[in-house]
Copies of this chain bind each other. A is one copy, B any other.
Amino acid sequence: MYDAVVPASRSLSFDPVVAAREVWASKGWEEAALGMATITSIMRAHQLFLAQANDALRPFDLTFARYEVLAWLAWNAECGSMSLSQIGELFQVTPATVTNAIDRLEADDLVRRLPHPDDARSTLAEITARGRRMVATATVELNAKVFETVRLTENEMEALLRLLVKVRVEAGDFSSATENGHVPTPVRARGGGARKS
């Protein structure tokens, strides 16, 4: 139930992950219990942070999903544009989800669609000047209200990141050749640079 999230207005009085782990143990699913607890914990942490991020972004009429697209277009994509299929690959979402997000961003004049210069079947999304201003302002808010409020020490966050990198590589998020912090080449809209010439 991770689509529509509400802020954690009321804490539970118990840890549902611990409760589920007890169930798994009692059923004899010992082999799976720790993995279940790990995955469920990741999902609950996700839910909490997503709710915080969406709250912080509400004044900008942005969701975290749309913010992520804007931020990537602004700062990582060459010439501020990427093909819709590249966006789907980057965020591991379906074409329909990308289309919906880009529709909304385009309606708000934060991105515009452009034909791909080298591929007639492909469409680029390019961030607008308004989109660049919006994502810069929204990031200041997100940093202050969410990213700077994680209550772990630097060492704890680095340890968490290392464990999650291992999980993510094994689960196929990215190839492990770059696992150890090598700075990657930004995702490029093939031929995107040519539009400027």
Contacts and interface: CB of A to CB of B under 8 A. Distances in A.
Interface of A: 1-8, 10-20, 22-23, 27, 29, 31-39, 41-53, 65, 68-69, 71-72, 75-76, 88-94, 96-98, 101, 139, 142-144, 146-152, 154, 156-161, 163-168, 170-175, 177-179, 181-186
A147 B46 contact: no
- How many copies of this chain does one complex carry? 2
Contacts of A65: 1-3
B41 A50 contact: no
Contacts of A11: 172-175
Contact of A101 (B1, B46, B144, B186): B1
A147 B35 contact: yes
A27 B147 CA distance: 15
Contacts of A139: 29
Contact of A173 (B4, B33, B44, B158): B44
Nearest to A91: B1
Task: Give the dominant DSSP class at A's interface.
Answer: helix
A149 B170 CA distance: 9
B152 A167 contact: yes
A171 B32 contact: no
Given A6-B88, A166-B156, A184-B18, A39 B97 contact: no
Contact of A29 (B13, B34, B44, B143): B143
A123 B101 CA distance: 35
Contacts of A1: 65, 68-69, 91, 93, 97-98, 101
